[in-house]
Structure 1
Amino acid sequence: MSKQMMTLKKLSGLSNFSISTVSKALADNPEISVKTRNKIKGLAKLYNYSPNLTAKNLKERKTRTIGVIIPNILAHFFAKVLAGIEKEATEQGYHIITCISDESYEKEVKSIEMLANGSVDGFIISISKETFVKENYQHLQSVINKGLPVLMFDRVTNRIDCDKVVINDFESSYNATKKLMRSGCKNIVFVSPIHNTSVGLERVRGYKEAIEEELIYKGKQETLIIEDYKRFSKDFLEFIKHNKVDGVMAADELSGIYTMNLIIGAGFKVPEDIAVIGFTDGILAENSNPPLTTVDQHGTNLGSIAIKKIVNRLNNATETKEYKTTVVETTLIERGSTIFS
């Protein structure tokens, strides 16, 4: 008998047990005795039997697949989150289908529509910049209304009720800004390419809070915010001279390194003249010159948590409708772009 053609029905005939008993034995159902389970498993191994997962999934009305939509695969943070999602999904017995919105609302909508037609059991998504600008989240609400769970991570919106996994963006930015102040920085600029996202808004809010506290208590500091950091380069030298900038708080890794390069190109020293802190502990931050001090967002762990939460939601869909936001604590990694005592 061909091993490749082995089916549950044929295995039933070989073992002299019903199809139901064979199925339960292979699933380690305690209704079946250990002796019978071992006998059936031995035959299954001998004849190279493997269950028809497609048929099983159709019966259970599950694909055991999660759709993952991220704005940018080149950003180290999203790559780390994706790695955490992939690893944990495999351990949970799930597959993932990854789509990249490329910061486009249209691509995000098309990805949702394509996967929501029976391809996945739920979605993990970080919202694109364009979606935030349009403030249109109907595509997400639609799939939730169909019974497909949605989990948002990193970039989220309060206009959709669902599970969320985020970092403490406000607190992280606030603490990093305070750290620059304690190191002697008196004029700190905030640089951001993500000002129109939930993440960017929370990070600039943390920066502002730290600056405004200093202004109230000591009569120093003013908020200096650069939203389009690439335009910053045109009049950079004049800007930092006029504002006597001695510290930079960057909303992500690339803007931190870009700004640091502009500083050095303008003849200033990092960190002696101007100290720099960014977000995301990526390969670029670790290998820049000098290495960039960063807020580590623990992306791999965040991805792992996201999968656990959505799988738990899928397995307990009828038990609770209460949605929760999980906050992942960050860590400041001190490197050569700052001098802390």
Structure 2
Amino acid sequence: MNNRMMTLKKLAELSNFSVSTVSKALTDNPEISKPTKNKIKKLAELYNYIPNITAKNLKEQKTRNIGVIIPNILAHFFAKVLVGIEKEASKQGYHIITCISDESYDKEVKSIEMLANGSVDGLIISISKGTFIKKNYKHIQSIIDRGLPVIQFDRVIDEIITDKIVIDDFKSSYNATTTLIDSSCKNLAFVTPIHNTSVGTRRLQGFQKAINKASNIESSKLFVIDDYKIFAKDFQGYLQSDTIDGVLASDELSAICAMNLIIGLGLKVPEDISVIGFTDGILSENSNPPLTTVNQHGQELGLLAVKQLVNRINQNSEEYKTTIMNTSLIKRKSTCK
């Protein structure tokens, strides 16, 4: 018999059990004895029975889909988070639908409208730079008011009450800056393309706190990247006219870019200038020299985000909570001992 013709009702008739018993046996319900389960499962395998997932989801009033919105896919951190999300979602019996806002408020709004229109049971989101700049959060608050569970991660909006998963960006940046200072750096630069976001702000605050606390700092400089071509010109000019011996970048790409510009001017990393960046990705491992980085443990964050969201979908959670994950500094050859 063709598996397209096999239904739960026909399987019940063949096995001489009720539809309810067959359904429970196939889902390993403890109410059904092991011999009965084995008999029904063997019969289902014989006839290539495939459960009607759509019908099951309709009955449970669930899509078994989780929506994910990230600012970009090129950043290694978000790629690792997606790996964790997909792994745990699959384990929990969910599929993921991923949208990329490309740092755009408008794209983020359209993605939320599409996903929240009955396509998903819950949403995991990292807020775009455009939304932080615009400071308009109605598109997110509206779906929460409609009852859709939402988990914010990494870049979060404090005013919107949801479960949140973040790293301690302030502490991580403070510790990384202190590492540069302890290696005798006295003229430091902070490089960031995400200055308008929650994480960018906290990382800058951590950098500034470490600078203010240290007694041997002679100068510090902030480089905000809106355009990498302009940054390259400004940073090269700064390197040629000022003494700089340490760089902290708020993301991996900026750290690699800064290091390449330093080396391009004939300076040595770390002998002349030490460099640290956030996110431990492929670029960091394979740069020359390998980059010292703050590991944000993206995959673990993704796993936790799904677990919290599924608990919220199943209404197993009550009070909203913010989970702060630890980071670790991976020391490589871009910093002095």
Could you say which residue in structure 2 is the equivalent of 1:301? 300
Q: Deviations over 1:37-75 (max 9, x none)?
A: 222222212211121110000010101110011111111
Aligned AA for 1:267? G
Task: Report how far residue 127 of structure 1 moved.
Answer: 0.6
Assess if the C-alpha contact under 8 Å between 2:73 and 2:79 holds in 1: yes
**Counterparts in 2 of 1:93-112, with a 5 A limit?**
93-112=93-112
User: What secondary structure, in the 3-state scheme, does the structure 2 residue paired with 1:339 have?
Assistant: coil
The answer to whether the 8 Å contact 2:3/2:50 transfers is no
Aligned 8 A contact 2:256 2:287 in 1: yes
**Bigger Cα displacement from structure 2, 14-23 vs 63-72:** 14-23
Q: Spell out, residue by residue over 1:178-232, the C-alpha distance to the aligned partner (whole angstroms, 9 max, x if none).
A: 0000000001111100000011001001001000111xxx263444211127334
How many Å separate the matches in 2 of 1:60 and 1:25?
A: 18
1:50: which partner in 2?
Answer: 50
2:259 maps to which residue?
Answer: 260
Partner secondary structure for residue 5 of structure 1: coil
- Identical aligned residues as a percent: 67
Task: State the one-letter code of the partner of 1:176.
Answer: A
The answer to whether residue 148 in structure 2 is matched with residue 172 in structure 1 is no
Deviations 1:267-297 (A, max 9, x none): 2211111111011111111111111111111
* CA distance in structure 2 between the aligned counterparts of 1:115 and 1:107, rounded to whole angstroms: 12
Contact kept, 8 Å, 2:168 with 2:327, in 1: the verdict is yes
Residue of structure 2 equivalent to 1:195: 195
Deviation per residue, 1:80-124 (Å, 9 max, x gap) = 111111111111111000111000000001010011111100111
Q: For 1:140 and 1:184, locate their aligned partners in 2 and report how far apart those are by CA, in whole Å.
A: 45
Q: 2:250 matched to 1:251?
A: yes
Q: Deviations over 1:2-26 (max 9, x none)?
A: 3431101111111222212222222
Letter in structure 1 aligned against 2:233: K
Segment drifting more, 241-250 vs 48-57: 241-250
* Cα shift at 1:237: 4.4
Q: Describe the shift of the 1:195–1:19 C-alpha distance in structure 2 as closer, same or farther (beyond 3 A).
A: same
* Native 8 Å contact 1:156 1:198 kept in 2: yes
Contact preservation (8 Å) 1:212, 1:222: no
CA distance in 2, matches of 1:146, 1:16: 45
Match for 1:74: what amino acid?
L
* Whole-angstrom distance in 1 between the partners of 2:93 and 2:218: 53
Of 173-182 and 295-304, more deviation after overlay is shown by: 295-304
Match of 1:333 in 2: 330
Q: Tell me whether 1:281 sits opposite 2:280 in the alignment.
A: yes
Q: Distance in 2 between matches of 1:292 and 1:86?
A: 28
Match of 2:217 in 1: 220
Q: Comparing 33-42 with 80-89, which one deviates more in the overlay? A: 33-42
Name 2:30's counterpart in structure 1: 30
Whether the 8 Å CA contact 2:9–2:19 is kept in 1: the answer is yes
> Which shows bigger deviation, 183-192 or 138-147?
138-147
1:153 aligns with 2:156: no
Question: 1:325 and 1:39 mapped to 2: Cα distance?
Answer: 47
Which letter does structure 1 place at the counterpart of 2:108? E
CA deviations on 1:282-333 (whole Å, 9 max, x unpaired) are: 1111111111111111111111111111112112x1x543111112211111
2:89, 2:190 → 1: CA distance? 37
Work out the CA distance in 2 between the residues paired with 1:39 and 1:172.
56
Task: Provide the rounded CA distance (Å) in 2 between the counterparts of 1:122 and 1:3.
Answer: 32
CA shift for structure 1 position 34: 2.8
Structure 2 residue aligned with 1:135: 135
Amino acid at match of 1:312: N
- Structure 1: how far apart are the matches of 2:79 and 2:317? 31
Q: Secondary structure of 1:4's match?
A: coil
- 2:105–2:131 Cα contact (<8 Å) kept: yes
Distance 1:64 1:234 in 2: 49
State how far apart, in whole Å, the 2-side matches of 1:257 and 1:320 are.
41
Residue 325 of structure 1 aligns with an amino acid whose one-letter code is T
Higher alpha-carbon deviation: 171-180 or 235-244: 235-244
Q: String of CA shifts for 1:121-159, please: whole Å, max 9, x gaps.
A: 011111100000011111111111111111111111101
Check the 8 A contact 2:154/2:166 in 1, yes or no. Answer: yes
Partner secondary structure for residue 234 of structure 1: helix
**Cα distance between partner residues in 2 of 1:143 and 1:269:** 51
Match of 2:9 in 1: 9
Cα contact 1:187–1:243 (8 A) shared by 2? no
* Alignment TM-score, normalising by the size of structure 1: 0.94
Distance 1:283 1:309 in 2: 28
1:129 and 1:158 map into 2 onto residues whose CA distance is 15
CA-atom RMSD in angstroms: 1.6
